[in-house]
Chain A
Amino acid sequence: MISPLPIEVDLPQESRAPARVARSYWQEAWGRLRQNSIGMVAGGVLVFFVLVAIFAPLLAALITHQNYQTLDLTNTFAPPLSPNHILGTDDLGRDELTRLLFGARVSMGIGFLAVFVALTIGAAVGLVAGFYGGLIDGLLMRFVDIILAIPAIFLFILMAILFKPNTVTLALIIASVGWGSIARLVRGEVLSVRSRDFMVAGAALGARDSRLIVRHLLPNVMHVMIVFGSLYLGQVVLIEAALDFLGLGISPPTPSWGNMLTNAETFFFHSRTLAIFPGITIFLTVLAANLFGNAVRDAFDPRLR
């Protein structure tokens, strides 16, 4: 007779030590990002500016009780903390805080739109070029070389004169140069992933090219896109503000942080604060975007710290 269970089996005790929960790559990155307090604060600041942009009319109605284009020529250059004008008024007596609130719409709107467009085009070009290689790769990458050879600021000025930009076209103008860098980055990443086993296996199983690119390559280059996107956001906000400042971007009466500074130099003797506030909002936005981008990069690649 065989006695049942002759061997003592060490049954796993369930409550001894909580086993580490299996986490995906994305969950790991998110976990690291959450522990980065600077990055989370920076992300919070970005969310704050996005909310300001979305709810600018509501905030204006609740806090400043002013319209951003109401002129009051009897009350120009009012200092901050004057009655009815928390941050004072500008050269035409318009409420400065209200204009700053609405200015967030321009910066944030153009910022996110330009990043989205540049990422979409750049990733598509990079994926196709990296995946197919050969002639397609050569042609696409030479095109990127051409775009990136022309000094960006010159191109922006040319296109700004050509298109007389509004919010959407200005974002497209900025993105029309920015996609080149992301295409290069994505292509490089694709080249290192392309010959891995899962790609070969996918191809061997008869997957179509489009499926290989979208389902297998794209998730593997997504981290490059996210990191680039968050760092690029700050650059877009800076470029956009500079173009507005030069009078080539969004023009008055639509308030933007850049065009609020256009004439600041001529106002120095009337009001110092007019030159300061829009710059601070630009600075904070770009700072937050850069710090958040750094945090995202660290979260995806802890070795880079």
Chain B
Amino acid sequence: MLLKYVMRRVLATIPVVIGVTLITFSLMHATAQNYIPGVDLNPALKPEDIEAIKRYLGLDRPLYIQYLTWLTNLVHGDFGRSMTDGSTVSSHIFDRLPATLELTVTAILLGIVISIPLGVTGALRRGSKLDHFFTALSVGGFAVPAFWLGLILILIFSVQFQAWGLPFLPSGGVITPGTEGGDLLDRLVHLIMPATVLSFVYISIWSRFTRSSMLEVLGQDYVRTARAKGMTERRVVYLHALRNAVIPLVTLVGLELPALVSGGLVVEVVFSWPGIGKLLYERAIQTDYTTVLGITTFAALLVIFGNLLADILYALLDPRIRYA
């Protein structure tokens, strides 16, 4: 029964995968139109040389053949080669993936660790000044442009602190240039500002969510029963209520998993963080179309795969979900 459901879900993702690849591929070709940076406008190359290069790259063949070739390679795990430096796109992706994961995982963890206490406190002291303050903070945090927040933090903690002769934070990068990167403290110092900026939105959304979910749970019968048994308020809140209040948050955090790859693009650019987002941005500006196509498809496939995994996990965990 379950196996059948899993099979059905897997089969259902196939059209979505094909649709995604069709869209990214055709968008990219509408933009590029077989243009090869560094070749097409190169006065040193004769037209017949350019023809030869295009034939070598397979750009002279009909578009649907190009698509099918690309798709076949994709199925074999080959994301193509860069138009500007000829190296494989997958090598670029795996080169940049660790930095992106370092940033986004930290931001999501920070978001969880900070937003839950904020939300619980807000719910327990509903209507208090503290609650109003947290609410204002979250509403404000949701409206701040991430890149601007990054700029302001750099302005304060890098530029101004340096001007005042205080210890200041590095304004960008993963490690201090010239060092090997083995120094954990150095990495952490570089991580502080970008992770803070990226977690800001998560904190403002998730703390509101925890608050309302907690309020709902605190009104339930079993919480009253627990109190009636003479349980301490601490135990009631943290043992009984919080556990159930956090369950919907898990879903919400799960929805952010695709952002593990794409979520930090703007932050990566502001803090010159060498991740996937910055790679895509740089390559897009250099008109390295195949790399952009590869990264976009890679990210989209991750989203689809993540959704599939979540659906199957839900079916495993929640017996109420019928395998229909």
Contacts and interface: CB of A to CB of B under 8 A. Distances in A.
A19 to B, nearest CB: 35
A280 B269 CA distance: 21
A151 B303 contact: yes
Given A151-B262, A154-B265, 5 more contacts: A146-B20, A150-B300, A268-B154, A275-B148, A291-B139
Interface string B239-276: 00000000000000000001101100110011000000
User: Interface of chain B, helix or strand or loop or mixed?
Assistant: helix
Given A162-B27, A265-B154, A279-B145, A149 B296 contact: no
Contacts of A78: none
A158 B139 contact: no
B155 A272 contact: yes
Interface of A: 142-143, 145-147, 149-151, 153-155, 157-159, 161-162, 234, 238, 241-242, 245-248, 261, 264-265, 268-269, 272, 275-276, 278-279, 282-283, 286-287, 290-291
B266 A287 contact: no
A44 to B, nearest CB: 16
A282 B140 CA distance: 12
A295 to B, nearest CB: 12
Which 6 A/B pairs are nearest by Cβ-Cβ distance? A151-B262, A279-B148, A146-B19, A286-B143, A287-B143, A162-B31
Contact of A275 (B30, B155, B269): B155
Nearest to B172: A265
B203 interface: no
13 contacts: A142-B16, A146-B19, A150-B299, A151-B303, A154-B296, A157-B284, A161-B31, A161-B287, A162-B31, A234-B143, A247-B285, A282-B148, A287-B143
B2 interface: no
Contacts of A286: 142-145
A192 B139 CA distance: 31
A157 B281 contact: yes
Given A150-B23, A290-B142, A245 B147 contact: yes
A245 B266 contact: yes
B146 interface: yes
B151 interface: yes
A241 B266 CA distance: 11
Contacts of B84: none
A261 B281 contact: no
Contacts of A234: 143
Contacts of A248: 284
A283 B159 CA distance: 23
B19 A143 contact: yes
Contact of B151 (A158, A269, A275): A275
A269 B30 CA distance: 42
A162 B24 CA distance: 12
B7 to A, nearest CB: 18
A154 B280 contact: yes
Interface string B268-309: 011000000100110011010000100110011001100100
A269 B159 CA distance: 8
Interface string B16-49: 1001100110011011000000000000000000
User: Interface of chain A, helix or strand or loop or mixed?
Assistant: helix
B63 interface: no
Q: How large is the interface on B (under 10, 10 to 19, 20 to 34, 35 or more residues)?
A: 35 or more
B145 A154 contact: no
Nearest to A146: B19
Contact of B292 (A158, A268, A287, A291): A158
A246 B281 CA distance: 9
A97 to B, nearest CB: 18
A35 to B, nearest CB: 18
Given A272-B155, A275-B155, A261 B148 contact: yes
B148 A161 contact: no
Nearest to B31: A162
Contacts of A142: 15-16, 19
B24 A150 contact: yes
A238 B159 contact: no
A233 to B, nearest CB: 11
B152 interface: yes
Given A142-B16, A153-B266, A283 B142 contact: no
Contacts of B15: 142
Contacts of B151: 261, 264-265, 275, 279
Contact of B148 (A146, A269, A283): A283
B16 A287 contact: no
A212 B299 CA distance: 41
Contacts of B307: 149
A156 to B, nearest CB: 10
A152 to B, nearest CB: 8
Counting chain B CB atoms within 10 Å of each CB, the highest count among A153, A159, A162, A291 belongs to A153
Contacts of A158: 24, 27-28, 31, 284, 292, 296
B111 to A, nearest CB: 18
A238 B145 contact: yes
Nearest to A242: B266
A224 B23 CA distance: 29
B16 A146 contact: yes
A154 B283 CA distance: 12
A287 B262 CA distance: 24
Contacts of A242: 145-147, 266
Given A158-B28, A162-B30, A242-B146, A275 B23 contact: no
B295 A154 contact: yes
Contacts of B145: 238, 241-242, 245, 279, 282-283, 286
Contacts of B155: 268, 272, 275
A151 B224 CA distance: 44
